[in-house]
Structure 1
């Protein structure tokens, strides 16, 4: 956790707050979807993260995609904004959030897969019909709504 989110956590502790961010769907040439094995929950999730002050949501998607995967996209296709009680999340350390997630599909990807932060253990593409067994609930919601 860095920047804005950390500042807010320092003020409110673990109490729930609304966290706005971007989730990015990355597909390879075989139409497989990229997942990150998260270091905090040990679940497989989609790349993405929280918006920083002054960023647009597309800028958030660009930054998070690079930080978490080492990849860059020439463009991002907007899919939807998801929110509500189903996107409540409690982190292992007790921090609680209600996510507002802008979902994007990354287009024209370039770069090499690389973990550039401490949020991932592994990055891996999975076919949509062979998703990892320990899937992050927020990722499951996104995939069920648009791909399953």
Structure 2
């Protein structure tokens, strides 16, 4: 199976208690903004790039709030999905990748939980502190101490 990494941005509007989701044309499904990590790209860089492409928003990722994995036998892939909490830096939603994304919309927690059934405890469970993410950059030796 081919190993793939996918990074998502969880963009939360605390005032309205809504989550920004995108409608994917290929699967006719709603997901968080996100996609495949490109070669040479960090997980955080991928989440920021995908959020921009799919929503037009500039975001800053903070912590990791979920890590999921699945063996997708139909396409022979073993996927690791990393979800970052993301802070929205601008307000204008303008989808750039219109070939893949048909719509971006704010959804209630209940609406999100209906389509994101793979997060135990629901979306509200992911809105806590999360765990730190550290991009150590390029390491030139096998051990950091060298």
Pair in the same fold by TM > 0.5: yes
Q: Pick from 83, 87, 95: which aligns with 1:107?
A: 87
Give the length in aligned residue pairs.
123
Moved more, 103-112 or 55-64: 103-112
Q: Does residue 119 of the first structure (1) align with residue 119 of the second (2)? A: no
- Residues 132, 78 of structure 1: alpha-carbon distance in 2 compared, 3 angstrom cutoff: closer
Q: Pick from 40, 49, 53: which aligns with 2:35?
A: 49
In 1, the alpha carbon distance for the partners of 2:66 and 2:29 equals 23
Secondary structure at the aligned position of 1:142 is classed as coil
Unaligned runs of at least 5 residues, structure 2 = 126-146
Deviation, 1:67, is 0.7
Deviation, 1:146, is 4.9
In 2, the alpha carbon distance for the partners of 1:60 and 1:81 equals 15
Q: Does residue 20 of the first structure (1) align with residue 5 of the second (2)? A: yes
Query: TM (normalized to structure 2)?
Result: 0.72
In 1, the alpha carbon distance for the partners of 2:82 and 2:24 equals 19
**Structure with bigger gyration radius:** 2
In 2, the alpha carbon distance for the partners of 1:144 and 1:17 equals 30
Q: Deviations over 1:74-131 (max 9, x none)?
A: 3432223222xxx2447xxx64432201110101432411111121111111110234
Extract structure 1 runs of 4+ deviating beyond 4 A.
143-146
Q: Pick from 97, 115, 118: which aligns with 1:141?
A: 118
Deviation, 1:140, is 2.7
- Residues 43, 27 of structure 1: alpha-carbon distance in 2 compared, 3 angstrom cutoff: same
Is the contact between residue 4 and residue 79 of structure 2 (CA under 8 Å) also seen in structure 1?
Answer: yes
Unaligned runs of at least 5 residues, structure 1 = 1-15
| CA RMSD after TM alignment | 2.3
Is the contact between residue 44 and residue 132 of structure 1 (CA under 8 Å) also seen in structure 2?
Answer: no
Secondary structure at the aligned position of 2:54 is classed as helix
More helix by share: 1
